[in-house]
Amino acid sequence: MAEGALDQTFMTTVATMAGIPRSSQLRRICSELVDARRMFERRGWLDNPAGYHREPPPLSQFTTTRKRAWSTGATIDYTHLRFDSDYRPHPDEPGRQRWLDYEKNRTGHAFILEHKGKARPWLVCVHAFGMGTPLMNFHGFDANWLHKELGLNLLFPVLPLHGPRKPGFFSGGELVSIDYINALHGFAQAAWDLRRMVSWLRDRGAETIGMYGLSLGGYNSAVSCALQDELDCVIAGIPAVDFTSLARDNENWITRSRRDAAGLDWQLIDDVMGVVAPLKLKPKVTRDKLFIFAGLADRMAPPSQARSLWRHWGRPAIHWYEGGHVAFQWTPSIKPFVRSSLERSGLVQAGGPA
């Protein structure tokens, strides 16, 4: 009950942030989505969503700075990676200039924990909605456990419009509005940035790389593993993977009536969002290296979300726990499942650190 209440409180907060859209705003959104669907259909991306995504250039220009943070009562020294994202929506794609006007979002960021000495496997930890700072990311993934106890090198990317990339007060706030073109570009840029960072790790000599995403990070990890075959493991934790259904289920009655009046229907939204939809992109990672965990009482990413991904991924290993979304870390069975997943994928040696 308590975990469900936490989920509901967080969902109410997010809904309040999204606000009630004006009718003129909805008409503009509908017009952009119609134009986007025509463009995507003309270029064959509705039938081949992977074709929407371009190959990003190598990440060769970057800066690194040594910093210190506190997490779970301990000091963590880390490296802050910065680079030009270089992501641009397609020429003539609706909402392109508006997206480029998010100036701080043009810079990519990641926080790195790397062991000295012998080479170690890398785990790319893709954060949830509202996160994106060292403190929140390190705590959310229990960085001390993954880095010190399991012996992994860790890279924590900052998703678009989050953390130091956010244009407003709340991390990720611009992604939760009804402006679906923003979400489209956000998911596309996340996939772009993640592929660049994975290739950067390979260029630095990394031989084994896994990806571990939480909630929104599970969404982006699922998209990423459909666009690259360089991952040795993908763990989708409490994944939200059907953006359209979540938006529809959480729509208030005022927005519904205005959306209907503007001619903005869910099929149009689903068609456009399909090019960045985990359930419409086929993973390049083999089923034995795909893993999912989810909560039976989750109100933010309901169990149907994880079941859909599980079926789409060919029924890989999945762990169900009797809890909610926000407080998933309270569940003692999750760590053993994550560790087992990492061991089965070769990132961690059974019975000891890598």
Q: What is the mean predicted confidence (pLDDT) over 12-36?
A: 74
Q: How far apart are CA 150 and CA 137, in angstroms?
A: 17
- Of the chain, the percentage scoring pLDDT greater than 90 comes to 69
Which amino acid type is present at position 52?
A: Y
Q: Is the predicted pLDDT of residue 181 greater than 50, yes or no?
A: yes
Q: Is the predicted pLDDT of residue 9 greater than 70, yes or no?
A: no
Element (H, E) at 278: none
Which amino acid type is present at position 185?
A: H
- As a whole number, the mean pLDDT across the chain is 88
Per residue in 120-139, pLDDT (tens digit) is 999 999 999 889 899 999 99
What 3-state DSSP class applies to 293?
Answer: strand
CA of residue 13 relative to chain centroid, distance: 20
Lowest mean pLDDT among 17-21, 109-113, 202-206, 213-217: 17-21
Lowest mean pLDDT among 5-9, 26-30, 108-112, 169-173: 5-9
Confidence of residue 178 (pLDDT cuts 50, 70, 90): confident
Q: How far apart are CA 322 and CA 20, in angstroms?
A: 34
User: Where does residue 346 fall: left (phi above 0), alpha (psi -120 to 50 degrees), or beta otherwise?
Assistant: left
The DSSP 8-state label assigned to residue 93 in this structure reads: -
Whether 150 and 348 have beta carbons less than 8 Å apart is answered as yes
pLDDT attached to residue 354:
44
Q: What is the mean predicted confidence (pLDDT) over 173-182?
A: 80
Q: How far apart are CA 40 and CA 42, in angstroms?
A: 5
Q: How far apart are CA 283 and CA 286, in angstroms?
A: 8
pLDDT attached to residue 7:
45
Confidence of residue 99 (pLDDT cuts 50, 70, 90): very high
Q: What is the mean predicted confidence (pLDDT) over 141-150?
A: 93
Per residue in 255-277, pLDDT (tens digit) is 666 666 656 788 999 999 999 99
Q: What is the mean predicted confidence (pLDDT) over 74-80?
A: 88
Q: What is the mean predicted confidence (pLDDT) over 82-87?
A: 97
